[in-house]
Structure 1
């Protein structure tokens, strides 16, 4: 790994080299170290704290046992609410605010390095927010498409049933029967008034009934 690109803001070369060797064994596939900040106290700092920004996580590397061991506080970007820094007389205090749990702070970070930490960290937080927003948008679009397909299928099933229920009923034959009845009644009235003979009545009646 190229150490020089992590020394542009006067980071301690020995501290950078030491922590990068350890980080190499901890990085996941596709994860890249983007920036390193090294603590610098007013007096000589033999075993400084180091903060590493990667494309997936934020590492607080705290030496223990006079530098023989290192304790790591590691936060995934999705678990960080925000980061902040406060410039003081000697350096700056850099703080990570997780979504749950207590804040984690390292002091005596050189001011330039603290500003760069803030910049790189927010770039990763914003990138993750944009990715999550895009994922949510695509998920909602997929849900809308699935709902539309379900409604379309339901319409195809319902339409034939509706067509059958509203099919016109056959016309009644009562109109033709009423016409025959009326003719027979009129014929009978003529016969009763003796306007036609018995033979004419029977003949006309047979004629009318033959039309039925």
Structure 2
């Protein structure tokens, strides 16, 4: 339930405020709250004044109808508003809302104190919305930008040269000379393989060579 007292600080008409708040209470959306309410004060007869209510999401225009039995509500969101202003006159002030599209919305006979506070609250909400939109657009553009590839230079690896002392040449293969007995046995085997001597001769000669060893 909306408390009425906080909207009576600048001599707003209590009956008009109570009637408007009773209707607006059911129109507010989730996380929406009223910030300020201004009540029209006509110079002659002020039986059915119009009201302007600001929330953190929109502006409500409240106009009594059917001799005050019913009330018409029109609202415009902050994203649809280009700018707001007010103009002081002899009898009160004009509060002017300039939408992004369409004609200006002008409400006359708003008491000067209320008009100034209405403008101040509306201006702050509008600027806050524009700033949020700008930040959102910047984030969206940043998210759409391709991520630049980071080129990492490849460091050439040069093998370290070993010190001269560390290099050990392979050992030379020393061919061992055959002794006389081995040489005679090899030649004898060659003669036998070429069938120049018989097996009996090969065995006999082999025995002689081994006996002489």
- Shared fold (TM-score, shorter chain, > 0.5): yes
2:121 partner SS: helix
Distance in 1 between residues matched to 2:5 and 2:109, nearest whole Å: 22
Residue deviations 1:14-56, cap 9 Å, x none? Answer: 1111100100111110000000000011123111100000000
Residue deviations 1:57-103, cap 9 Å, x none? Answer: 00111111111121222100000011111111110111111010111
1:62-101 to 2 correspondence within 5 Å?
Answer: 62-101=63-102
Structure 2 unaligned spans of 5+: 152-213
| RMSD of Structure 2 on Structure 1 (CA) | 1.6
How much does 1:139 deviate?
1.0
How much does 1:104 deviate?
1.1
Aligned to 1:105: 106
Distance in 2 between residues matched to 1:102 and 1:70, nearest whole Å: 22
Aligned residues: 151
Aligned to 1:120: 121
Aligned to 2:31: 30
Matched, 1:130 2:122: no
Structure 1 unaligned spans of 5+: 156-212
1:53-68 to 2 correspondence within 5 Å?
Answer: 53-68=54-69
Distance in 2 between residues matched to 1:152 and 1:123, nearest whole Å: 42
Aligned to 2:43: 42
How much does 1:152 deviate?
3.7
Aligned to 1:179: none
Q: TM-score, normalised by structure 1?
A: 0.68
4+ residue segments displaced more than 6 Å = none
Distance in 2 between residues matched to 1:140 and 1:107, nearest whole Å: 42
Aligned to 1:5: 6
Q: TM-score, normalised by structure 2?
A: 0.68
Residue deviations 1:112-135, cap 9 Å, x none? Answer: 000111101011110001100110
2:114 partner SS: helix
Distance in 2 between residues matched to 1:68 and 1:102, nearest whole Å: 28
